[in-house]
Each structure stands twice: as C-alpha cells, then as structure tokens.
Structure 1
Amino acid sequence: MKTPKEEIEELRRQIREHDYYYYVLAQPVISDYEYDRLMHRLMELEAQYPEYYDPNSPTVRVGSDINKNFEQVEHRYPMLSLQNTYSPGEVTDFYNRVKRLLNEEVGIVCELKFDGVSISLIYEDKQLIRAVTRGDGRRGDDVTDNVRTIRSIPLVLRGDDAPSSIEARGEIIMPWKVFEELNKEREEQEEPLFANPRNATAGTIKLQDSRVVAQRKLESFIYYLLGDELPTDSHFENLTSARKWGFRVSHEMKRCSTLEEIFDYIKYWDKERKNLPFAIDGVVLKVDSLKQQERLGATSKFPRWAIAYKFNPERALTKLLSVTFQVGRTGAVTPVANLEPVLLSGTVVKRASLYNEDMINALDLHIGDMVYVEKGGEIIPKITGVEKEARSEDGEKVQFIKFCPECGTPLVRDEDEAIYYCPNMEGCPAQIKGRIEHFVSRKAMNIDMGPETIDLLYEKGLIKDAADLYELKFEDLVNLERWGETSARNLLNSIEKSKSVPYERVLFALGIRYVGETVAQKLAQAFPSIDALEQASLEDLMAVDGIGERIAQSVKDYFANPKFRDFVQRLRSHGLQFSLNQESLTSKTDKLKDKTFVISGIFKFHSRDEYKALIAQNGGKVSSSVSKNTDYILAGENMGPAKLEKANQLGIKIITEEEFLKMIE
C-alpha cells in the first residue's frame, strides 16, 4: 500500500502526463470525468498533508484568491521587439540583406505571429520558477502565480533529455471562443468590452486574483529557446525537441530555403488565418541557425536575424442605415450603427458599436454615409472612417440623443466619463428588466429564465423587480401563453433553489454599478454581512484592496437609496443568503485590523503569498511599498536594502516571522 507521499507524487505524475496529452498533443487518453477525479483526489490529499506542498503541483492550475503586487524582474537576456514590415518588398530586402551579410546559404523559419502577450518562462532543475512579462524589454513583471494556471505551460519538464536550466519565450493568447464568452459576460454586467483578444489577455495576466485568471482559459505557444543546454544549432529543431519536453509549439511553423517558399507561406496564412481558433496578425521570419543569429546580432531595438510581416487589417465599405441607442441595466446608453450587410472576415456584419458620443463626433457621421468597417484582429466590428466624397447632401448628421429612448428621462453624463446614463433607475423599463436579467444570470442567482420570460412576466404585471420573483405562484404562471404545468413548476423550483446561493453571489446579483463578480467577492470577505456593508463608510470601503473611490461611492449611493434598501429587505424576508457562512467566518479574525504590512525577504516557515493570506485573514492589509502609512515590515532573510533604509528613516517597526506568528497566535 502506498504512503500518502507516494500517492501524491504518483497522482501529480499522472496528471502532468494527461496535461501533456491533452494540451500539447491534443490527444486525450482519459475522459474529463476521470481527469477531474484524479485532480479531486490530489487536492484532497494535499489539504490533508500540507507538509508535501509543491509550488509546481498540478493543483495550482485552479489559482488562488491571494492578492499580489507584481514585482519587477530584470531579464537575463533582453526581450527585444521585432521590426514590423507590411510590404513584400521589405521582406525581400530582409532576405537579401541577411544573405549578403552572412555570405553563405541561410534557412528561414516562418512562424505564425500570435496576437497576445509575450512571456519569458524560466526553468531550473526542470521546474518552472519564474514567468516574466516583456515590460520595457529589460525588466518585466513577475506574473508566475497567474501563469501557473495556464494548462498548456508545463510546470515540470518531461523527458530525460530535457535541459535542467532553460528560458522559453512564447505568447500567451486567448482563443476566440473564450474571448467571445468573456465579452458576453461583460456585456451582461455592462462593463466595457475588450476590443480584441490581445487586450483581454493583457488585462487577464495582470489580474490580482489568479483564480479569475484560471477561469479565463488562457493558452500559450512557445516560439524561442535560450540557454546553455540547447540540443542543436537549429532554431527549428530545438522547438521540435521542446514539444517532447512538454511545451506547446505550433505545428504551423515551416523551414524555408527560398524567397518563393516564404511568400507562399505568407499568402497561405493571410487567407487561412480566418479559420484559426485564435488571433494572429502576421508572420514572423527567423534565421534558423543560432550561430548565424549570433553573427547578425541586434540593434538597440531589434534583432537583425528576424522580422515580422504584419497582415493588413480587413476592412469593407458599406452604408450606414441608422443609429439606435440601447439602454442597459445600469442606465448606460450605448449607440449602435446599423449597416447595410457586408461580408467581413468570413462573417456578415450588420451592426457595429459606436461606443460613445466622442467617437460619433470624431467620425462626423451622417445617415447614409459610406463607412469603412474593420475587424482585422478585432472581433467587434468598428467604424474606422467615412468616405466623405460619397456623402449625399440630404444625410442627417448623427447626434447623440438627449433623452432616454425607453422612458424619456433627460440623460446625464459625468465629467470624468464618456458615457451617458439614464438616471431613472426606479422607473425605466429597460433598466428594470435589465437588472432582473442580471439577477437571474448563471453567475448570480442562476434562475432558469431568459429575457423573453422576463418580458412576459413584466408586461403581465407579475414582476416589477427581482424580489417579486419570490412571490410568484403556480396559478400565476400555469395559464400564461405557451406555458403549462411543467414550465411553471420548473421555474418555481429554480427560484426556490436560488435561496441557497452564497452571499457573495447574491451581492453580485444586486447589480450595484461597478460591482462585478470579483469585486463582490472582495466586499463579501471584507464585510461578512449585508448589514456590515450597508454601514461601511467610504473610507472603510476604499480600504479594501482593489476598491477605489468610484466603486466605493457607487456602493454608498446604492444603500442611500430607500427603494434599494427596501429591495434588499424584501429579498432577505424570502430567505436569501446575506452573510458569509460559518465555515468562511471561522478562520477570520480582526487581530490585525487597521494594520498595514510590507513583506520583504526570504522566509523559512511560510511563503510570501501565505503570509499575505494570513494578514488578510486576520484583518490586515499588505502594501508593496514602504510609506508613512506602513505599520510593520515583516522581514525575512536578505531584506531589500532600499526598504530597510526607508523603514529606518520613517521609524517603522521591523518584525521577524516568529514575532508576526505570535501576533496572530
């Protein structure tokens, strides 16, 4: 019989092997159910035997809610950008220049230019120890905890021939499908949409909560290797070997020996890119031989042995038929351009977002204008220009509306925002129905009803807000058009089931402006009951990590409104969860309340992240920099000299691990 340690190690080995088959080879050998069963057992054992903790265990893929401030790390090898070119002539110039400088035969590796975020992955003893963003090319942000959640990045290299020490460079990307789902969720929450997967990836990789990063299902491709243990002089062959070590390397790279082959590759992918499950914005050309790369060297900005050929963004000319204005649940008014249907990037485009009044004015739009619509790397069509010479004289200039199209209330615009709002929160039908739709959504109360049902119940006078859902009766529903006993019972059962949804999701479901899913979780942890949240001052709210004045003021405004306070009380009377459960509360204390800590150095009892969690669990706050607001510096070995000097200047108390652990007993 295996010891717990042996079983843990065996489970880790099995899961890593299955990750390789699924994410690198795309050839899974077990079902999702079987994989989840292995993962669950491993998590169970690791919780039971914390002494066998391993930062590269497959369980870190799920992420953690421990907040972090990203540290700047210097690159061992500078991460230079690539020189961009848009014309075939410049590709020819690059090829001829390389041949002339080397004065010998040269092979060129053509690769897809992924449209994401560059990352440097450092491995020591075959284990991932650090992941760093490009930054300014010399220094980048340490985002290791977030990168560990990306399943196509190996945490431990496989194979006896894998280098002990290596740096792998690649691109973190968000597939189109994931991007579309993310934007759909943001649209439902009336949060600004990401313009393209690259922006979404950049925003995700810098999130403070790695659990959210894990949920966004980022992927990665490796495109370059650095180190003293590379197997060959060929960049192409080294990347081929990297697949065996567990890295995901694109199968679309090709080694070319003539200019004609290079242009065939470029032409093929300029068309075929539409069929890829992720965004690319060009092709990268690299000299294959590492010795030749070294001889060619680099300028201060770019390597001389590589170049990026960028595809021109696809655009089409079509007619602007009209502009409509949509009102969301928070009252935000969004202008939408309705277009004469046009084929663009393989899909028929009929609508394009105009974002706000400033964009409308900048474009100087008139109804009937011939407008240029682009997608390129963008999933959301946008108008990028107007063919003014084709404008007819009778086209009416597009003006942003002054009154709500749903209820007629005059719109308002805050000085520091580009968005107009309808302030009639209590009486605007679009906002009321939008809030109910948000309330019942999957990540909120998860009540099984769509917009059509909400419209029907609202129009019949059965609901005026989400609290009315809990007063619906079987006889109210059974005689509705196209309803029956089964439909009525299913809805009532779903409503009853929602009463067990935890507090943080109920808080999210309330639809407070700017309080998304992550913010709701933070508020629930900081204020374990709705009463505590309602009574919190602006300063109390802003003291929560990640909560700024805008969010804090929005929460205060919500509870200052008698109608919304009454709404919360009605929900409460129906038995919804408005406080954290006992399990969540038992580990929380206020022993470090109002105390701010800076953590510096190397520790022996707990990791830095574990100390951050302990501080938060006991009511304290963690800051990345020393200031007059710092109460303590928790110092391990090799404390940063700059922090030590500043602490001495400000008279801040420096405590050891032992002293800190005694403080929280």
Structure 2
Amino acid sequence: MIPVSAIQQKIEQLRETLKQHNYNYYVLDAPTVSDYEFDMMLKELQDLEFKYPEYNDPNSPTVRVGGAVTKNFETVVHDFRMYSLDNSYSKEDLEDWEKRIQKILGEVSLEFTCELKYDGASMNLTYENGALLKAVTRGDGFQGDDVTANVKTIRSVPLKLNGDYPERFDIRGEIVLPKEGFIKMNQERIANGEDPYMNPRNTASGSLKLQDSAEVAKRPLECLLYSIVGERLGISTQYDILKTARKWGFKVPSEAKLCKNTAEVMEFVEYWENRKDDLPYEIDGVVVKVNSIQYQEELGYTAKSPRWAMAYKFKTEQAVTVLKTITYQVGRTGAITPVANLEPVLLGGTIVKRASLHNADQIKKLDVRLGDTVFVEKGGEIIPKITGVDFTKRTSDSLMTNYITHCPECGTELIRKEGEAQHYCPNYYGCPPQITGRIQHFISRKAMDIEGLGAETVELLYKEGLINDYADLYDLTKEQVLPLERMANKSAENLINGIEKSKGIPFERVLYALGIRFVGETVAKKLAKEYKSIDKLMVVTKEDLIQVDEIGEKIAESVIDFFKNEQNVVIIERLKKHEVQLEISTENLQNQTDKLKGYSFVVSGVFEKVTRNELKKLIEDNGGKVASSISTKTSYVVAGDKMGPSKKEKASKLDIPLITEEQFLNML
C-alpha cells in the first residue's frame, strides 16, 4: 500500500508535469512528448483523482477533458466594464484620432502598440492567487455569462500561472477557432451527413454556450490574450502587458509591434492586410493602442469606447445580389426603418438575406428600386447595408420607390420633423410594435434586467391582453402567466420573481428604462444625479435642463414632452405604488454632496492614496465635473506624479490652479 503522502505527491507531480506539457504544446507550439505519452499520464492522473477524491483540485489538468453539464449560464457583472472599440478605415481617420489624443494630452511623444484584431468571441478571465477563478463572456459590456466550465477545456488557457503575478486581476482576449481546426470539423460534419458550420467566429462563440463541456473539449478552440485589467498592476505600457502575460503562461500572439507614429502604424496595417490569409486564425483588422498606461488612464473613455484605442478595419467585403422587396419596421420610439429583402448571398462568412436602407433620403440618394441588382457590404463588418445599384442591369419597366406614407402596423399617417432623417408613427400608445418595443426596452439588461422575461414572452403577454405598458408587468400573477404557451410552473415562478427583483434596480437605470427618446444610459445617469428623483425631474423647465452638463435642446425637449403626456404620468404613479426605485436611495445620497458643484476638474498624473478612477468618482459624487482636457472652463487640475509638461504649461498659460492629491482630498 502506497503511503497517503506519496499518493498526494504523485498527483501533484503529474499535475505539474502535464501543466508544463500543455504549455509547451499549446502556447509555445514546441511539444517535448508524444500525444500518446501525454494521454497516458493524463489517464494515470484521472484514475488517481477518482480513487482519492480528497485531493480534488478544480484547476487540475483533467478538467481539460470536460464533463461538467451547465443547464443555465449564470449572469455575472464584470468587475471592470468591457468597452467596444471605435473603428477607422483610412490613414486620415487614424491621424484625426491622434490629433484628438494630442488635444487632451498636449504635445507629448506618443508610441502605439499595434495588434492583430482576431475575429472570435470576447472573453474576460479572472485569476485569483494565480488560479483561474471565472471566465465570463463579454455580454453587453457590463455583464456576461459565466462559461468557466467550458473555458477550462481550452488547453491554451492556463489554469495556474507561472512567476510573479498580482493577487487578483482580469485578463481579456478572444476565443478563436483556428482555420485548420474549423476545416477538420466541417469535414467530419459533411462525412456524417450534417450541414457544415458557416464560419469560425460563430462556431467559436456557439461552442462556449454548449451545455456539456466534454463536447467543448472536442473542439480545437484557442484563447489569444491581449489586455490585463486591474488596480495598481505595476505595468507601465501595453507592450509590457503582452510580454508579462506571456511570462505568466498565457498564449499571446507574437505579431504585435511597437510603432513610433501613424506612418509606422499604416505600414503594419498594410503588411497584414496583404498577409492575413497566411495566419492560422481569421483577423478583420488591426487594433492600435496608445502604449503608455498612464496616458491611457488620462484619456479615459467615452460612453462606449476607450479614447486610447482604435480598430483599423480592413477593406470591407462586397457582394452582389437582387433586391426582392422593401419592408418597413417600426421601432419602440415610432421610428420607421426601411429594410431591403434580398436574394440570399454569402458575405463575410454568413448568408445575408436582409440589409438596412436607413431612411427615405438614403433610398432617394441611391435610387434603389425593386428588382435592382445591388451591391451589399457589411457596415463595420456587422450590419449589412446596400451601398449602390448596378444600373446597367436595371430593366426598362423599373418603377421609382415611393416611401410609405402610413404606418405599416397601425395605419396612422407618418410624420417627419424638420431636420430629422427618419419618419415616425405618432400613435405612441396605440401602435403594437411601439408598445411591445418599449416594454422590451424596459426589461433589457442595461435597464431593469428582468430575468425569466424575454422579447417573445413580452409579445405573448401583449397578445393575450395581459400587459399594455411596462407598469402592467408588476400586476402580473403566476396564475395569469402559467397558461401561456411554453410556460411551465418553474418558468412562471422565475418570471414573477424576476419582476419582483427588478424593484431594487437603481433610479438611473429605471430612468433609462422608461424609454424617453434621446435619453441613453449616460444622459439618464446625469439627470438622476442632478435631480435625485422623478418628482423633481417631472416639473423641471427646458431652460433648467439645458443648464445640465451635456444636455442640449433636443434632449431637453424630449424630456419635457415625455412628462407632458398624461398617460406617461399615470404609468409613473403606478410604478411608484409598486415601489420601483424612482429616486436615488438614501444610502447613495449619503455618499454624494454638492461640495464641488460648479467646479470642473482635469485629473493628470499618477496618484498614491487613491487610484485615478477613484479620484474621478469622488469628484462626480460631490457634484463636480471631470473634463478630459484643460480649457478656460477648467477650475482645477489635480496634478499627480509624472504629469505631462505640456499640460502643466497649458494650465500655467490659462492661469488654472494646480492642486495636489492631498489638497484635493482636503477640499472634501
């Protein structure tokens, strides 16, 4: 009989050996043992772990073979938001971006890290004490699905790290399916009489949502990493992030390059645009990032994207097909969108059957007609659009397209406001797609995030006469929803519980959920912060609203119009009775003051007591405004270590006071 300590020692030795072989094979692409030898060691470890479960380790190399079954993927909030990237398509776009950066930073010497833009599924991995804690999909950027069991089967994802790493951090990348593996998968499917997969990207993304991780383990997925996120990481450049991630054991592609200017960036772009087909993975462009992490922090983010990064997209693929019909969709705000229904055509690895025509002006500009042979592109590689017509193939009996005059859903005559491109159906409370669209917006993830309730169920509830506005959701009972199609006892319970839980959603998200035209997430936050409650916002004047930072006439008019509508006021009163959060909570108010109201701050440099983001939050929580660049409107510059000399010079020129971190904290 082997002593217990010897068994434990043997298990740990096998794990360490297999971990190293995994790294050699999948990350370094330099195997040192045969597949057979590796499989035999893995089998030995599996047998020992089965016999001695007391030595179980959730990050053992044996999890690579899968076996965990996930029925429902849990939604997890990201510790750090996952932003999307702005796109550029020309050298001029990149130069304009650089000018915007220099305007904020001053005339500083910039370096750029260029990386290939992999066409896969975005992934956030969290590590704690050197072990993989969780793997979460990008989702809507704020929260995603926990797919840890599936990601653990991907052999290029290290389960335990090497070297000196922070206690906790996130690392981001793309889950991709290499071209060779994709071809083999399709050969097997065809041999089995199954339809082939359409493209590697969608197949990689779909693989992450398979319920059986053993099935995921059979797919040759890889994880390519490119970004480390966390507090006080001690890494000063993006290029060093890539080198550090490699040292810790991550698969980081070697093609990245450090460039001194946009001319060098364009050389890198052109080089890879001509050689992208030689790569083992699909790419659709190049990601350009400001190399300095300090500059990245100073540049910050817009509502959607980092100011310090830009995706340069390769030339768009074009297809030619025939326009069969034009249909018109009605959005939740009543906006009408014309949609071209096409002869199916292969474009960018997917079959395209529909394309956007945007509005009446676009149809007129293109002079697009039924039966036309049209050119279709993927706008930003995502939404197909018609870019032109092949007039040489137009028939002599072709008729000009007349834009519709009445709503296709309710028959109401359409209106078009001066200065706006789209037509609108004004039947706000009687047009079915507007009614269901508003409710679907209300329940969406970034709004009330009602679990157990999706777009189809909303349509069904409306059709059955159970709801006519979003306040009706809170009157629903389990007995009412149980008879609905595909509604079982558990799903009915989940739906009612999800609605009840949404009463805890904070005021700024409720305000966004109301669906006031032009009031997106950022504007909703500003209004909630300024007015603190729906009651105060309902009686505000247009003149007052325009005084709020970044609120223009268009938004102000829309807010006033919304609260003028008596039906909207009735719905809000009903939401109040159901105890939906229509004011900032006492707890949040306690952390907020007006001490800095009327003051505008620029934050620059590196700080000791608080992080830059914490400092910005303190400014906003106390009523101040954080600006990205120094101007005559700046009240103070909070200056940390390594503040750029050009910013100091500009502050001095404009006579803007520089204050230290200590002085700022004393102001509070």
Query: Could you tell me the percent identity over the aligned residues?
Result: 51
Of the candidates 348, 366, 387, which is equivalent to residue 363 of structure 1?
366
Q: 1:623 to 1:491 in 2, by over 3 A?
A: closer
**Once the two structures are superposed, what CA deviation does each residue of 1:491-522 show, in whole Å capped at 9, x if it has no partner?**
33332232223323322221122333344344
* Equivalence for 1:562: 566
Of the candidates 610, 618, 625, which is equivalent to residue 621 of structure 1?
625
Q: Which SS does the other structure have where 1:575 is aligned? A: coil
* Equivalence for 2:407: 404
CA–CA distance in structure 2, aligned partners of residues 556 and 643 of structure 1: 40
CA–CA distance in structure 1, aligned partners of residues 79 and 505 of structure 2: 26
TM-fit CA distance, 1:77: 6.9
TM-fit CA distance, 1:336: 0.7
**Once the two structures are superposed, what CA deviation does each residue of 1:438-471 show, in whole Å capped at 9, x if it has no partner?**
1122332233233333233323322211111222
Q: 1:509 to 1:608 in 2, by over 3 A?
A: closer
Is the CA contact (8 Å cut-off) linking 2:337 and 2:357 kept in structure 1?
yes
Q: Which SS does the other structure have where 1:320 is aligned? A: strand
Q: 1:630 to 1:450 in 2, by over 3 A?
A: closer
Is the CA contact (8 Å cut-off) linking 2:328 and 2:336 kept in structure 1?
yes
Is the CA contact (8 Å cut-off) linking 2:330 and 2:336 kept in structure 1?
yes
1:541-556 alignment to 2 at 5 Å?
Answer: 541=545, 547-556=551-560
Q: 1:637 to 1:540 in 2, by over 3 A?
A: farther
* Equivalence for 1:30: 59
* Equivalence for 2:586: 582
Q: Which SS does the other structure have where 1:435 is aligned? A: helix
**Once the two structures are superposed, what CA deviation does each residue of 1:111-133 show, in whole Å capped at 9, x if it has no partner?**
967699xxxxxxxxxxxxxxxxx
CA–CA distance in structure 2, aligned partners of residues 562 and 266 of structure 1: 57
Q: 1:485 to 1:394 in 2, by over 3 A?
A: same
CA–CA distance in structure 2, aligned partners of residues 266 and 646 of structure 1: 40
TM-fit CA distance, 1:433: 0.9
* Equivalence for 1:513: 517
TM-fit CA distance, 1:435: 0.5
* Equivalence for 1:594: 598
Q: 1:579 to 1:363 in 2, by over 3 A?
A: same
* Equivalence for 1:260: none
TM-fit CA distance, 1:317: 2.2
Is the CA contact (8 Å cut-off) linking 1:280 and 1:377 kept in structure 2?
no
Is the CA contact (8 Å cut-off) linking 1:279 and 1:377 kept in structure 2?
no
* Equivalence for 1:422: 425
CA–CA distance in structure 1, aligned partners of residues 640 and 279 of structure 2: 54
| 1:445 equivalenced with 2:452 (yes/no) | no
Is the CA contact (8 Å cut-off) linking 2:106 and 2:646 kept in structure 1?
no
Q: 1:545 to 1:612 in 2, by over 3 A?
A: farther
1:89-488 alignment to 2 at 5 Å?
Answer: 243-244=246-247, 249-250=252-253, 270=277, 276=282, 278-280=283-285, 313-375=316-378, 378-447=381-450, 448-480=452-484, 488=492
Is the CA contact (8 Å cut-off) linking 2:224 and 2:253 kept in structure 1?
no
Q: Which amino acid aligns with 1:381?
A: P
1:73-88 alignment to 2 at 5 Å?
Answer: 76=109
TM-fit CA distance, 1:80: 11
Is the CA contact (8 Å cut-off) linking 1:270 and 1:311 kept in structure 2?
no
* Equivalence for 1:72: 105
CA–CA distance in structure 1, aligned partners of residues 337 and 611 of structure 2: 46
Q: Normalised by the size of structure 1, how large is the TM-score?
A: 0.55
Q: Which SS does the other structure have where 2:537 is aligned? A: helix
Q: Which amino acid aligns with 2:431?
A: C
Which consecutive residues of structure 1, in runs of 5 or more, have no partner in the other structure?
1-16, 35-58, 82-110, 117-151, 163-171, 178-196, 198-217, 223-238, 254-264, 283-309
**Once the two structures are superposed, what CA deviation does each residue of 1:529-576 show, in whole Å capped at 9, x if it has no partner?**
222333445465455555444434433332232221221111111121
TM-fit CA distance, 1:325: 0.8
Q: Which amino acid aligns with 1:499?
A: K
Q: 1:246 to 1:547 in 2, by over 3 A?
A: farther
**Once the two structures are superposed, what CA deviation does each residue of 1:599-626 show, in whole Å capped at 9, x if it has no partner?**
5677665555444332222112233455
* Equivalence for 2:300: none
* Equivalence for 1:191: none
CA–CA distance in structure 1, aligned partners of residues 606 and 254 of structure 2: 41
Q: 1:219 to 1:415 in 2, by over 3 A?
A: farther
Q: 1:466 to 1:78 in 2, by over 3 A?
A: closer
Tell me which moved more, 329-338 or 603-612: 603-612
Is the CA contact (8 Å cut-off) linking 2:378 and 2:384 kept in structure 1?
yes
CA–CA distance in structure 2, aligned partners of residues 585 and 351 of structure 1: 48
CA–CA distance in structure 2, aligned partners of residues 549 and 174 of structure 1: 41
Q: Which SS does the other structure have where 1:579 is aligned? A: coil
TM-fit CA distance, 1:645: 7.7
Q: Which amino acid aligns with 2:421?
A: A
CA–CA distance in structure 1, aligned partners of residues 650 and 314 of structure 2: 50
Q: Which amino acid aligns with 2:284?
A: A
Q: 1:444 to 1:114 in 2, by over 3 A?
A: closer
Which consecutive residues of structure 2, in runs of 5 or more, have no partner in the other structure?
1-18, 30-56, 64-77, 84-99, 121-155, 166-171, 178-200, 202-222, 228-241, 257-271, 288-312
CA–CA distance in structure 2, aligned partners of residues 379 and 176 of structure 1: 18
Is the CA contact (8 Å cut-off) linking 2:576 and 2:582 kept in structure 1?
yes
TM-fit CA distance, 1:321: 0.4
Is the CA contact (8 Å cut-off) linking 1:281 and 1:377 kept in structure 2?
no
TM-fit CA distance, 1:318: 1.6
TM-fit CA distance, 1:472: 2.5
TM-fit CA distance, 1:327: 0.7
CA–CA distance in structure 1, aligned partners of residues 610 and 568 of structure 2: 44
Cα RMSD of the aligned pairs, angstroms, is 5.1
CA–CA distance in structure 2, aligned partners of residues 604 and 393 of structure 1: 74
TM-fit CA distance, 1:640: 7.5
CA–CA distance in structure 1, aligned partners of residues 594 and 336 of structure 2: 42
Is the CA contact (8 Å cut-off) linking 2:593 and 2:621 kept in structure 1?
yes
Is the CA contact (8 Å cut-off) linking 1:315 and 1:376 kept in structure 2?
no
Is the CA contact (8 Å cut-off) linking 1:176 and 1:279 kept in structure 2?
no
Q: 1:529 to 1:112 in 2, by over 3 A?
A: closer
Q: 1:635 to 1:405 in 2, by over 3 A?
A: same
TM-fit CA distance, 1:323: 0.6
TM-fit CA distance, 1:476: 3.5
